[in-house]
Chain A
Amino acid sequence: MTDAAHHAPVSVTAPPDNPGLPTPLWQRVLIHGVLIAASFVMLYPLLWMFASSLKPEHEIFSNPSIWPKSADFGAYVRGWFGLRYSFGTFFWNSAVIAVLAVIGNVLSCSLAAYAFTRLKFAGRDFWFAMMLGTLMMPHHVVLIPQYVLFLNIGWVDTILPLVVPKFLAVDAFFIFLMVQFFRGIPRELDEAAAMDGCGPWRIYWRIMLPLSLPVLATAAIFTFIWTWDDFFAPLIYLNDMGSYTAQLGLRAFVDSSGKSDWGALFAMSVLTLLPVFVVFLFFQRLLIDGIATTGMKR
């Protein structure tokens, strides 16, 4: 292991796969055996769900195999149009909310992080301490007053309660993440820019942001996934089916036609998981490094 890896809080650039003592061959075989079996157990429920979405009804609960005897995509069509609104509406709503949440979080959190790390102003340390304090608070405390507030200003049944808070950097966790990253960017860079007459805005936009793409991407991807998966906030704020997100649509489907059409239920379940799965495939490395270095929840 390199010396740097010892001193990093947790190594970002992973040390080589072999951490020292060679593992004897029989042990390797045994470990691989156990890990492959464990992988199968981990993935089996997901594969079974996917297979079930392709199976005819009678086969779902009689054939535990993950290979359907014949593939039939009819369940996807039945599910997609199974409610008063099609799942196209729900996916569109989810996508709009998730994309706006990503933009909001990345912008507002990076602005705050920049202020906390690079700008001097009266009260900075006080507000920083406040920000850290909000990291600890469970969301349930502010839930009801926030609901009352949004209800009174007529935002219930719109996407505003789900999106506007993101533009106000309510996910303090990401500020914290960006602060950690910004602190690692050499001060000489923005000091030189300031010498050349750049104002704080230009330094933020032209120097800090471009240099911070890894942390911005991590924040963006986690925001996307968490917003896409979120069930609680849409459950509270979106009552009209036309404004449902994919998660709410799926839940409505469970409550209505889902009970008589398992294939369609699994088909829609697969579809709601798909965006997260695709993001995971593409950004796996980034997500795992994000977890490893910062210990994000979940």
Chain B
Amino acid sequence: MATAVGTAVPLERGVRRRLALGRNLPGYMFLAPWLAGFLLLTLGPTVVSLWLSFTNFDLIGDPRWVGAANYVRIATADEKFWTSMKVTFLYVVLAVPFKLTFALLVAMALNKGISGLTVYRAIFYLPSLLGASVAIAVLWRNLFAGDGLVNQLLFWAFGLKGPSWVSDPDYALYTLVILSIWQFGSPMIIFLAGLRQIPQDMYEAASLDGAGPTRQFFKITLPLLTPVVFFNAVVQTIEAFKAFTPAFIVSEGTGGPVDSTLFYTLYLYQEAFAFLRMGYASALAWILVVIIAFFTAFSFLTAKYWVHYDD
């Protein structure tokens, strides 16, 4: 399409640009769906969300700029925020370590070269896979109801009369912790894969030197497994911070009894979609981001003191 024959320089520049475009075009065509999604559904909303967190917005009127008022209220005048923080942290601190411990113990038992490995592995993994569904939360609510299976078994086995777990604020959160522990399958599979990377000759050498199983565990297994422990801990902690469905179903969307299962995400949901305080909820979302970012950064910074990569 070279029309202007006499003007060599602009033509060349045009051709060069067209060549560059031709070089880049296929890449951007393949990237287009992601790029559109990234700009419209991720980057744009992230910016808007930050802005909304400084406004009052009820979906009907226009957002009204209030400066840092939302954050100030969260920090100083919102008891529910602090309750939900306490509930969430308690949940994370209890659920994650227990879950990882079970996952590691079962993975080590499965790594003993026993038969039927694939069957056991499948059975232990199944609850993790089903766990996010409403049905499991419904099941849990019934297991731990006053006349539910758990109390039936307690009575049948020990003659104990259990509390009505899910409607007792002293116990409701623990039933959710137990639910989370029941789903130890996916970290278990990752532990199992990690255990199989440990060279067997290390154990052989250790037992020749007279090291018992406990010593082998603390001197070989655990140190060599720290990268996997680290990975599982970070992933599971972030997931635990974001837990929602079980608390929603078990408490019928209220976070009750007496806010004892008011997970942070549940509180955020209530503020946004029950009370239509979208600006306030955006501020809550950003606090969650900061907490998760802080936690992740902290994990990575401390990792160098306890995570061993073979080098």
Residues in A neighbouring B292, C-beta threshold 8 A = 138
Residues in B neighbouring A231, C-beta threshold 8 A = 132-134, 244-245, 248
CB-based contact A288/B135 at 8 Å: no
Bound-complex Cα distance A46 to B149 (A):
12
With both chains docked as a complex, state the minimum distance between the C-beta of B10 and any C-beta of chain A, in angstroms: 22
B15 within 8 A of A: no
With both chains docked as a complex, state the minimum distance between the C-beta of B307 and any C-beta of chain A, in angstroms: 15
Bound-complex Cα distance A10 to B194 (A):
7
**Interface mask (B60-94 → A, CB under 8 Å = 1, otherwise 0):** 00000000000000000000000000000000000
Which residues of chain A from 250 to 278 have any CB-CB distance to chain B below 8 Å in the complex?
Answer: 250-251, 254-255, 258, 262, 265-266, 268-270, 272-273, 276-277
CB-based contact B249/A165 at 8 Å: no
**Interface mask (B195-224 → A, CB under 8 Å = 1, otherwise 0):** 111011101100100000000000000000
CB-based contact A276/B129 at 8 Å: yes
Residues in A neighbouring B96, C-beta threshold 8 A = none
**Interface mask (B40-52 → A, CB under 8 Å = 1, otherwise 0):** 1111111011001
CB-based contact B285/A143 at 8 Å: yes
A residues with CB within 8 A of B: 1, 5-6, 10-11, 14-15, 17-23, 27-28, 31-32, 34-35, 38-39, 42-43, 45-46, 48-49, 61-62, 64, 107-109, 111-112, 114-116, 119-122, 124, 127, 130-131, 134, 136-149, 151, 165, 167-170, 172, 175, 199-201, 204, 225-226, 228-232, 236, 247, 250-251, 254-255, 258, 262, 265-266, 268-270, 272-273, 276-277, 280, 284-285, 287-288, 291-293, 295-298
The SS class assigned to the A binding surface is: helix
Bound-complex Cα distance A35 to B113 (A):
13
The chain A residue sitting closest to B125, CB to CB, is A288
CB-based contact B114/A31 at 8 Å: yes
B95 within 8 A of A: no
28 example contacts (A-B, Cβ-Cβ < 8 A) are as follows A23-B113, A31-B109, A42-B123, A42-B182, A111-B32, A111-B34, A112-B33, A127-B38, A130-B43, A138-B288, A141-B46, A142-B45, A143-B49, A143-B272, A144-B272, A145-B45, A147-B272, A167-B33, A168-B40, A169-B34, A199-B26, A232-B269, A250-B135, A258-B138, A288-B189, A291-B189, A295-B190, A295-B232
Bound-complex Cα distance A293 to B189 (A):
9
B1 within 8 A of A: no
**Interface mask (B117-149 → A, CB under 8 Å = 1, otherwise 0):** 110111111111111111110111011000111
Q: Which of A39, A134, A287, A298 has the most CB of B within 10 A?
A: A298
B12 within 8 A of A: no
B231 within 8 A of A: yes
B281 within 8 A of A: yes
With both chains docked as a complex, state the minimum distance between the C-beta of B245 and any C-beta of chain A, in angstroms: 5
The chain A residue sitting closest to B234, CB to CB, is A295
B171 within 8 A of A: no
Residues in A neighbouring B34, C-beta threshold 8 A = 108-109, 111-112, 115, 131, 168-169, 172, 175
CB-based contact A269/B135 at 8 Å: yes
Residues in A neighbouring B132, C-beta threshold 8 A = 226, 229-231, 298
With A64-B156, A120-B27, A141-B46 known as contacts, the answer to whether A146 contacts B41 (CB < 8 A) is yes
CB-based contact A148/B59 at 8 Å: yes
CB-based contact A121/B133 at 8 Å: no
Q: Which of B48, B182, B190, B241 contacts A145 (CB 8 A)?
A: B48
CB-based contact A273/B135 at 8 Å: yes
CB-based contact B268/A140 at 8 Å: yes
